[in-house]
Structure 1
Amino acid sequence: MAEQQLRRPQSMEEMLQRAANLISEQSIGNAMSFTPRPDDVFINTYPKSGTTWLQQIVHGLRTRGDMQFEEITEVVPWLETALDMGLDIHGDQVAAPRAYKLHLPFPMAPKGGKTIIVVRDPKDVVVSQYHFWNGWFFEAGSVTTTEIVQVMFIPRVGPLNYWEHLLGWWPHRNDEQVLVLGYELMKQDFPATLERIADFVGCKLDDELRDIVLRQSSIEFMREHERQFDDHLFSDARNEACGLPPGTGSKVRKGAVGDHNAELTPEAAAMIDEAWRREITPATGLESYSDLRDLLAG
């Protein structure tokens, strides 16, 4: 692509047009043909809901903290993009069980193996999305969080949207091979969550391994090793197809709960609340994300 064409979008309309090229049809088809093994682990989230954190946790559990990788996607592949990145999803991995990241709604996800679902407050998801895209998929400061809410987050843009992901997986939350975690509850009591994850994926958690994973999946450790968690292998592989200059987004930020209180306008927050009541409440009876979080907390 000619150099003068490699520029970042400056509007939501242009961003969505470019995003259509983010993953090739061939790479999606490769993911759809995937046959899981019974012990495969799928980390399936709506984007910006703790995916990278879970990749690091699961990889640490199965390798006792091995950090010999350029970027986490190299060892825990993103299923839908693996072909575009030249990664093999069908063979053995560096350790068992095999683990994969994906962002697929239930009808499109592989059937078999074990699936970890993480749900997060949609308002915090929007804020995290904004910071991830800002300066990578659109010119820094050219798009607002309110525009993302109105144009990309609330509408059902394609199969990958917050509402369909949650609605598709929620009825399976008690399935034996599905573990549903709340992001905020993970932050609140991570040691207890780590016990649940280790038991679910079949990794015996001794004291030494517990200490390793707690340390290496902390926000401080992951920020210190940010280059290993910034998705640069994916952006390097797909920037040109999207007409983007070199660069990537920010993956490891604060991981905070409640960021939206400072970064979303009251109007944008109200739009998300209304969308929740329209999209989620009729199917679940849950009036708000807080109700869902409380239900997961037991």
Structure 2
Amino acid sequence: MSRAPQIRPAATTYRGDITCPERWDTWVPRRGDVLVCTPPKCGTTWTQTMVAMLLAGRAELSERIGVISPWVDSALGEAETVRARLAAQPGRRVVKTHAPADGFPVWEGVSVIAVYRHPLDVFASLRSHVANRAGARPDHPLLRPLDEALEGFVEGELDREAVDDDTLATVTRHYRETALSGRLPELLTMHYAEMTADHPGAVRRLARAIGVAADPALVEAIVRATAFDAMRAEAHRYVPEPGTGFWRDDAGFFARGGAGRWREVVPPAALARYRARMAELVPDEDHRRWLEEGGA
């Protein structure tokens, strides 16, 4: 397949403990490639896997998802290995990033899929995620007592040089610069709550967006293979860096699925400040509502 021409360059740079913008050059985009672009803990691995299966035309993958579909602007793995594996794949490929759309070029013929989740669900999931990372620094803000961790998440500012320190500001910037900016001509925006509520519908919508003819049998097979319990049971095929000690428990990467978990974690007294901060970061009420709940 032909190389995808660049329409415009990146407008800014994001880096962090793992995010490494110099690694974008490990992927030379082809027309028809797919970029999954989400904030962390918004269904990234799940979406990548469904897309990879649609591109393969079957619910079985030849290799673990992190090999087929790397986090392309991360410091995970050797750059030359990532570059060689991507170049060796025939046809269309899918890769992922957590950077907002102003942090990478726009390429003609490359589809971008952005998935969002209620920011407080992101917070709840991040707490489990960081606790499961063997190398997480002991003073990580998300490992503090709940009230301190939540205050840090809500009040924290965006630092483009420490973008992996996730806060409400990083989630909302991703949303503004990707879903609301109009920067990407071939963008599908999805919401995690809607995807979990209608898993088959999510597979069909992904298929339409990337131009894959998915018959009912393929959709059903992908839904079975990408059910939460099915992916958790085969965590070694789906989590980043399995079996390397990166995680305390590989299966713990899939801590809990679904939407609305934040209600079990976030104290009601904290909601007023969260809502005020959300109004500062996303002034339009309809846009705020969609980021939290999805819908038209």
Bucket of the pairwise TM-score, normalised by the shorter protein: 0.7 to 0.9
Percent identical: 20
Q: TM-score, normalised by structure 2?
A: 0.78
Superposed, which structure 2 residues align to 1:115-130 within 5 Å? 115-130=112-127
Identify the match of residue 54 of structure 1 among 47, 51, 67.
47
The answer (yes or no) to whether the contact 1:156–1:163 under 8 Å persists in 2 is: no
Aligned partner of residue 81 in structure 1, secondary structure? coil
SS in 2 for 1:97: coil
Q: How does 1:89-104 map to 2 (within 5 A)?
A: 89=83, 91-92=86-87, 94=89, 96-104=91-99
Please identify runs of 4+ aligned residues in structure 1 that moved more than 4 A.
32-35, 138-142, 172-176, 291-294
Q: Secondary structure at the match of 2:190?
A: strand
- Does the Cα contact within 8 Å between 1:30 and 1:83 map onto a contact in 2? no
- Asked whether the equivalents of residues 124 and 257 of structure 1 are also in contact (C-alpha less than 8 Å), the reply is yes
Task: Kindly indicate whether residue 159 of structure 2 is the aligned counterpart of residue 158 of structure 1.
Answer: yes
Change (3 A) 1:267 1:293: closer
Q: 1:170 aligns with which of 171, 179, 182?
A: 179
Whether 1:111 and 2:106 are equivalent positions in the alignment is: yes
- 1:198 and 2:197 correspond: no
* Structure 1: stretches of 5+ with no match in the other structure: 1-18, 240-245
Is 2:111–2:210's contact at 8 Å kept on the other side of the alignment?
A: yes
**Amino acid of the residue matched to residue 82 of structure 2?**
D
Task: Output the amino acid matched with 1:204.
Answer: A
Q: Which residue of 2 aligns with 1:8?
A: none
Is the CA contact (8 Å cut-off) linking 1:92 and 1:98 kept in structure 2?
Answer: no
Contact 1:173 1:179 in 2 (8 A): no
Say if 2:229 is the partner of 1:223.
Answer: no
Given that 1:124 and 1:258 are in contact with CA atoms closer than 8 Å, whether structure 2 keeps it comes out as: yes
Spell out, residue by residue over 1:113-139, the C-alpha distance to the aligned partner (whole angstroms, 9 max, x if none).
Answer: 110000110010000000000142256
Query: 1:197 corresponds to which letter in structure 2?
Result: L
Distance in 1 separating the partners of 2:224 and 2:117 = 22
Which residue in the other structure is 1:131 paired with?
Answer: 128
Aligned residue number for residue 290 of structure 1? 289
The reply to whether residue 254 of structure 1 matches residue 256 of structure 2 is yes
Contact 1:230 1:248 in 2 (8 A): no
CA distance in 2, matches of 1:114, 1:142: 36
Write out per-residue CA displacement over residues 239-292 of structure 1, whole angstroms, 9 at most, x where no aligned residue.
6xxxxxx736732122121101111122443332222111101xxx22674344
- When the two structures are superposed, what TM-score results if normalisation uses the length of structure 1? 0.77
Please tell me the residue identity of whatever aligns with 1:187: T
Contact residue 35 and residue 110 of structure 1 kept, 8 A = no
C-alpha RMSD of the superposition: 3.0
- SS of structure 2 residue aligned to 1:116: strand
Q: Displacement, 1:66?
A: 2.3
1:125-160 deviation per Cα after TM superposition (whole angstroms, max 9, x unaligned) = 000000000142256995234333322454223233
Letter of the aligned partner of 1:65 in structure 2?
A
- 5+ unaligned residues in a row in structure 2: which ranges? 1-14, 164-169
Aligned residues: 264
SS at match of 1:117: strand
**Aligned partners of 1:195 and 1:223: how far apart in 2?**
23
Whether contact under 8 Å (2:116, 2:190) holds in the other structure is yes
CA spacing shift, 1:195–1:65, aligned 2, 3 Å: same
Offset at residue 20 of structure 1 (A)? 4.8
